[in-house]
Amino acid sequence: MMMAVSFERSGRLHYLDPGPYRPAVGAKVLVPTDTGPEVAECIWAPQWIDEDIGGLPVCVGLATEVDLTRDESSRERRAEARVVARRLVRDHGLPMKVIAVDYIHQSGDLTIYFSAPQRVDFRALVRDLSARLRTRIELRQVGPRDEARLQGGIGPCGRDLCCSTFLKNFEPVTIRMARDQNLPTNPMRIAGACGRLMCCLKYEHPLYLEFRERAPKLGSAVESPEGAGTVVGYSVPTDQVIVKVAETGARCACPTASVCRSRRAYEATHGRKREQPGDR
**CB-CB contact of 39 with 63 (8 Å):** yes
Q: Is 171 among the domain residues?
A: no
Q: Give the bridge partners for 103, in sequence order.
A: 110
pLDDT in tens, 127-177: 999 999 999 999 999 988 888 888 888 888 888 888 887 787 788 899 999
Rounded to an integer, what distance in angstroms lies between the CA atom of residue 1 and that of residue 45?
10
How many domains are there within the chain?
A: 3
Residue 212 is given by DSSP the state H
**CB-CB contact of 4 with 44 (8 Å):** yes
Q: Is 73 among the domain residues?
A: yes
- Residue 98 lies in domain: 69-142
Residue at 174: amino acid letter: T
Q: Is 98 among the domain residues?
A: yes
Q: Is 96 among the domain residues?
A: yes
Rounded to an integer, what distance in angstroms lies between the CA atom of residue 130 and that of residue 81?
10
Model pLDDT, residue 30: 92
Rounded to an integer, what distance in angstroms lies between the CA atom of residue 44 and that of residue 240?
36
Q: How confident is the model at residue 280 (pLDDT cuts 50, 70, 90)?
A: very low
Show Cβ contacts of residue 248 under 8 Å, excluding neighbours closer than 6 positions.
227
Model pLDDT, residue 256: 84
Model pLDDT, residue 127: 93
pTM: 0.68
Is the same domain home to 78 and 28? no
Q: Is 83 among the domain residues?
A: yes
Nearest to 14 by CA among 159, 166, 145: 166
What are the CA-CA distances from residue 261 to residues 53, 191, 249 (Å)?
43, 38, 18
pLDDT in tens, 56-98: 889 999 999 999 999 999 999 999 999 999 999 999 999 999 9
Model pLDDT, residue 28: 93
- CATH number, position 264: 2.30.30.140
Q: Which range scores top for mean pLDDT: 19-28, 143-152, 182-191, 209-218?
A: 19-28
Rounded to an integer, what distance in angstroms lies between the CA atom of residue 148 and that of residue 143?
9
Show Cβ contacts of residue 63 under 8 Å, excluding neighbours closer than 6 positions.
28, 29, 30, 39, 71
Residue at 165: amino acid letter: T
**CB-CB contact of 88 with 101 (8 Å):** no
Average of per-residue pLDDT across 222-227: 84
